[in-house]
């Protein structure tokens, strides 16, 4: 085996849903840098087009598309427009930071609809096409450290991220015989539009930074390595797993450093 080509994505088509900004945008740029033709898809078509233009300006291959990933028909049309769907990355999420007793049913439905229903639609529509193609493929969903650890105000969001992880595991087991790999990435705290509420409050922001063993937040670009790994042959025997990119958040307690000799 030529190990120098383990991460080469030349000839692969990668759909990135959520490519307009944040982690999705960086994932699109990263996949293109390793040779993939990227379809940058997002609800915001204008910003998705800007991502595609950035890729092409850097010498990569890309196009853009508008999609609401909670809409089965839109997602199906998007995937059907791709000659061979080799890689799917799906990042969109929303959050309503409220304690469970203060969360309305309308707010619950809103978060569930985007985070959980959207993930279900994207992974199943992609999985069906990858399995039928006979060529396999890689599905990369975005879960979170909140699939394992939670705090007040994160109950519904955490439930969706745990649900996304378990659906990914189930789909990995079901589609393994078709050589379709399904994995999830769990970021820690990342500086994206979703976390603006925290960044605006210095004490909250610093508390999250201190929870990482690096004492800082991550940047969206720091998730790209995980995405490229899971998309490429470097992870050919990796499926049904959760890849944490959390700066040690879930490894270390972080509340107190004992006075050790």
Q: What's the burial of 145, exposed, middle or buried (CB within 10 Å: 0-12/13-18/19+)? A: buried
Active site residues: 157
End-to-end Cα separation, the chain, in angstroms:
48
Q: What is the pTM of this model?
A: 0.95
Range list of β-strands (E), 69-179: 87-90, 137-142
Please choose, from the candidates 24, 94, 99, the residue with its C-alpha nearest in 3D space to the C-alpha of residue 64: 24
Q: Residue 24: count other Cβ atoms within 10 Å of its Cβ.
A: 27
**How far is the C-alpha of 249 from the C-alpha of 125, rounded, in Å?**
33
Q: Locate the domains of the chain by residue range.
A: 3-244
pLDDT for 153 = 94
**How far is the C-alpha of 90 from the C-alpha of 122, rounded, in Å?**
7
Full pLDDT tens readout for the chain, 261 residues: 899 999 999 999 999 999 999 999 999 999 999 999 999 999 999 999 999 999 999 999 999 999 999 999 999 999 999 999 999 999 999 999 999 999 999 999 999 999 999 999 999 999 999 999 999 999 999 999 999 999 999 999 999 999 999 999 999 999 999 999 999 999 999 998 777 788 888 898 998 999 999 999 999 999 999 999 999 999 999 999 999 999 999 998 766 666 767
Range list of β-strands (E), 31-172: 37-42, 61-66, 87-90, 137-142
The CATH code for residues 3-244 is: 3.40.50.720
Distances (CA, A) of 87 to 40, 155, 247: 12, 30, 26
**How far is the C-alpha of 175 from the C-alpha of 81, rounded, in Å?**
22
**How far is the C-alpha of 165 from the C-alpha of 258, rounded, in Å?**
34
Q: In the sheet that 13-17 helps form, which strands lie side by side, from edge to edge?
A: 61-66, 37-42, 13-17, 87-90, 137-142, 180-187, 242-245
Partner residues linked to 62 by β-bridges: 38
Query: CB neighbours of 132 closer than 8 A, spacing ≥ 6?
Result: none
pLDDT for 255 = 66
**How far is the C-alpha of 38 from the C-alpha of 49, rounded, in Å?**
11
pLDDT for 253 = 77
**How far is the C-alpha of 86 from the C-alpha of 34, rounded, in Å?**
14
pLDDT for 254 = 65
Query: CB neighbours of 57 closer than 8 A, spacing ≥ 6?
Result: none
């Amino acid at each position: 085996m030529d190990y120098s080509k383990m991460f080469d994505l030349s000839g692969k088509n990668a759909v990135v849903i959520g490519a307009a900004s944040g982690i999705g945008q960086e994932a699109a740029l990263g996949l293109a840098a390793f040779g993939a033709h990227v379809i940058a898809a997002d609800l915001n078509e204008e910003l998705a087009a800007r991502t595609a233009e950035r890729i092409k300006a850097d010498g990569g291959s890309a196009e853009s598309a508008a999609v609401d990933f909670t809409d089965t028909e839109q997602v199906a049309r998007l995937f059907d427009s791709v000659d061979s769907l080799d890689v799917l990355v799906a990042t969109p999420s929303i959050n309503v930071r409220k304690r469970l007793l203060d969360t309305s049913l309308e707010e619950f439905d809103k978060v569930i609809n985007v985070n959980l229903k959207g993930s279900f639609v994207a992974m199943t529509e992609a999985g069906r096409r990858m399995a039928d193609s006979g060529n396999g493929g890689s599905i990369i969903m975005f879960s979170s450290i909140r699939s394992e650890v939670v705090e007040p105000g994160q109950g519904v969001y955490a439930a969706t991220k745990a649900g996304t992880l378990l659906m990914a595991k189930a789909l990995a087991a079901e589609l393994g015989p078709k050589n379709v790999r399904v994995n999830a990435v769990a970021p820690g705290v990342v500086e994206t539009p979703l976390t603006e509420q925290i960044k605006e409050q210095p004490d909250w922001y610093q508390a999250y930074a201190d929870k990482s063993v690096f004492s800082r937040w991550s940047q969206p670009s720091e998730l790209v390595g995980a995405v490229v790994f899971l998309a490429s042959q470097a992870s050919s025997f990796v499926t049904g797993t959760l890849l944490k990119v959390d700066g040690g958040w879930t490894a270390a307690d972080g509340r107190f450093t004992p006075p050790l000799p």
